[in-house]
């Protein structure tokens, strides 16, 4: 899909440093060295208590087409360094020409509720290949997870109301618009105004009309009548061009004409002014005129906080049209997902575990070939434990808070759980059946219903427990202590 949007190979959708490192690995004879990287984020967006994983299907689409075209190779071959000489020898472009994707990927399916430090994707394979994927994988997962999370927050406020995504005009370019529409749908929106996203992803498309339609006629009534005459099965009338409540009266007039023709006035749309007051007044007018089923759409710079406030004020809005604040994730425009090397195989064929140090505990990466175990009880999900699949778990599992070793939880062997990462690619072969987008959307809703409601509030949300399995915690601690020694890893 993503390749389709651009009609070109996207293998160069990466940072130059991935190519220079790939070249270095190749020159140093390390290109095929088996390695494991984890893609994860460190903090929920929007100061929230949960994140929705999204973007995996785009990653799969991207990797299915992963190869360097002759044009790509010619470009790579033409790149020069600071001395004006070529950066890469021709042998390297030949290597890239023959490169076949051989990585294994395990990932948390789209639509799953996820938490900081959990690997959303685990990539294992030749280090050169894993390295090249860092940037595109982060690009695909960070943005879509951000937007799906924003959309899910809006869905929590909207309850059973309809949510329409109207963001394309304010989106960050064409792909920003199209992928935001996809992620917004997965996060819980019902439809988009973005026709290309509808075509590419099978998302329902919906829309009303703009002020220009009304302004182009002599009168608002004539504009409404004309619209209803030609599109009687899709009538939502924007009533605020001149005076919203006069507009509602005109909409009712047209609604009566539609009734005579056997059609219905679908909805009216309010796009300015006090949306609480106007929706309450409009609801009264519509009900009194026998249009109880006619909906009320509100739009105008809405976000989850204004929606919440409008609900508290008793607004009679049942359809929300939301653009800018959703598709640009206005209050936090990026999710800080990262991609870190967690293990590399040595000459004896054993894993050497790796870790990035930092003065900030939150930035110290976690080693290991990681999996996430989500424990459940009768009420729902209770805690997530990140563990190293190379260390078999026997009997009781104990997990430790990575930022406070005095906090721990134990789960008996009989505990119910689910392991979140599932196999996607096995040595380059796709083994996963991609779920349909509508199923993924339902998954978000069903996942959220299994979590304690405190994680879903906007202000000071409850922190869901996520810990490192004791063996992994000990491995990480030992590595940190060794690395903090003299900067070199001494013999174990």
Ligand X SMILES: O=C(O)c1cccnc1
Ligand Y SMILES: O=P(O)(O)OC[C@H]1O[C@H](OP(=O)(O)OP(=O)(O)O)[C@H](O)[C@@H]1O
Residue numbers of the site for ligand X (CB under 6 A)? 166, 193, 207-208, 299, 321, 323
Region 62-101 residues binding ligand ATP, contact defined as CB under 6 A = none
List % helix, strand, coil for the chain (3-state, nearest 5).
40, 20, 40
Shortest Å distance, C-beta 235 to ligand Y = 17
The reply to whether 302 sits near ligand ATP by the rule CB under 6 A is yes
How far apart are CB 322 and ligand X at their closest, in Å? Answer: 9
Buried b (16+ CB within 10 A) or exposed e, 388-421: bebeebeeebbbbbbeeeeeeeebeeebebeebb
Alpha carbons 154 and 427: distance in angstroms, whole number: 39
Q: Identify any residues that bridge with 372 across adjacent strands, giving them in sequence order.
A: 386
* Contact partner, 208, from ligand ATP, ligand X, ligand Y, none, Cβ < 5-8 Å per class: ligand X
- Which entry of ligand Y, ligand ATP, ligand X, none binds 324, CB below 5 to 8 A by partner kind? ligand Y
Q: Does 52 bind ligand ATP (CB under 6 A)?
A: no
Pair 178, 197: CB distance under 8 Å: yes
Put the strands of the sheet holding 191-192 in their side by side order.
Answer: 191-192, 162-165, 319-322, 295-298, 267-270, 236-238
Closest distance of CB 323 from ligand X, Å: 6
E strand intervals along 256-327:
267-270, 295-298, 319-322
Distance, in Å, from the CA atom of 386 to the CA atom of 370, rounded to the nearest integer, reads 6
Contact 159, 126 (CB under 8 A): no
Q: Which residues bind ligand Y (CB under 6 A)?
A: 166, 169-170, 271, 299-302, 321-325
Residue 273 engages ligand ATP in binding (rule: CB under 6 A): yes
User: Under the criterion CB under 6 A, does residue 211 sit at the interface with ligand ATP?
Assistant: no
Q: Is 234 in the site for ligand ATP (CB under 6 A)?
A: no
Residue 384 and residue 373 in contact, taking contact as beta carbons nearer than 8 Å: yes
List the single partner that 170 binds among ligand Y, ligand X, ligand ATP, none, CB under 5 to 8 Å by kind.
Answer: ligand Y
Task: Kindly tell me which of 212 and 446 has the beta carbon lying closer to ligand X.
Answer: 212
With respect to ligand Y, which residue has the nearer C-beta, 234 or 300? 300
Q: Determine if 324 is a binding residue for ligand ATP (CB under 6 A).
A: no
- Shortest separation between residue 193's beta carbon and ligand Y, angstroms: 8
Phi, psi of 211 (to 5 degrees): -60, -30
Task: Using CB under 6 A, list all residues that contact ligand ATP.
Answer: 272-276, 300-302, 306, 309-310, 313
């Amino acid at each position: 899909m993503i390749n389709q949007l651009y009609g070109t190979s996207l293998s160069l959708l990466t940072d130059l440093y991935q190519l220079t490192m790939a070249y270095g690995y190749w020159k140093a004879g390390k290109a095929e060295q088996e390695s494991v990287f984890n893609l994860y984020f460190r903090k929920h967006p929007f100061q929230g208590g949960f994140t929705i994983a999204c973007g995996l299907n785009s990653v799969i689409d991207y990797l299915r087409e992963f190869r360097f075209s002759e044009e790509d190779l010619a470009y790579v071959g033409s790149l020069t360094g600071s001395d004006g000489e070529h950066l890469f020898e021709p042998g390297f472009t030949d290597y890239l020409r023959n490169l076949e994707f051989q990585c294994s990927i395990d990932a948390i399916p789209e639509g799953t509720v996820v938490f900081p430090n959990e690997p959303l994707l685990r990539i294992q394979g030749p280090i050169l290949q894993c390295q090249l994927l860092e940037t595109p994988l982060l690009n695909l997962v960070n943005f879509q997870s951000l937007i799906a999370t924003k959309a899910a927050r809006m869905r929590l406020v909207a309850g059973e109301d309809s949510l329409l995504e109207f963001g394309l005009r304010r989106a960050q370019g064409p792909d920003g618009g199209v992928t935001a529409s996809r992620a917004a749908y997965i996060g819980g929106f019902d439809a988009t105004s973005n026709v290309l996203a509808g075509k590419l992803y099978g998302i329902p498309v919906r829309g009303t009309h703009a002020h220009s339609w009304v302004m182009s006629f002599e009168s608002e009534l004539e504009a409404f009548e004309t619209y209803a005459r030609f599109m009687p099965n899709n009538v939502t009338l924007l009533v605020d061009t001149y005076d919203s409540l006069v507009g509602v009266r005109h909409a009712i007039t047209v609604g009566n004409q539609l009734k005579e023709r056997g059609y219905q006035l679908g909805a009216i749309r309010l796009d300015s002014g006090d949306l609480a007051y106007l929706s309450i007044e409009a609801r009264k007018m519509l009900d009194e005129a026998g249009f109880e089923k006619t909906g009320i759409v509100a739009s105008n710079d809405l976000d989850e906080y204004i929606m919440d406030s409008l609900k508290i004020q008793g607004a009679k809005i049942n359809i929300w049209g939301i653009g800018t604040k959703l598709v640009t994730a206005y209050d936090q425009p990026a999710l800080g997902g990262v991609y870190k090397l967690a293990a590399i195989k040595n000459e004896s064929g054993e894993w050497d575990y790796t870790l990035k140090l930092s003065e900030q505990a939150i930035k110290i990466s976690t080693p290991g070939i990681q999996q996430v175990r989500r424990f459940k009880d009768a009420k729902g999900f209770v805690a997530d434990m990140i563990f190293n699949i190379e260390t078999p778990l026997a009997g009781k599992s104990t997990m430790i808070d990575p930022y406070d070793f005095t906090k721990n939880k134990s789960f008996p062997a009989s505990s119910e759980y689910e392991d979140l990462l599932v196999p996607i690619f096995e040595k380059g072969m796709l083994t996963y059946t991609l779920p349909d987008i509508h199923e993924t959307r339902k998954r978000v809703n069903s996942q959220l219903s299994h979590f304690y409601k405190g994680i879903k509030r906007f202000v000071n949300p409850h922190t869901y427990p996520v810990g490192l399995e004791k063996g992994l915690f000990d491995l990480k601690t030992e590595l940190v202590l060794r690395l903090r020694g003299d900067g070199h890893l001494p013999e174990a």
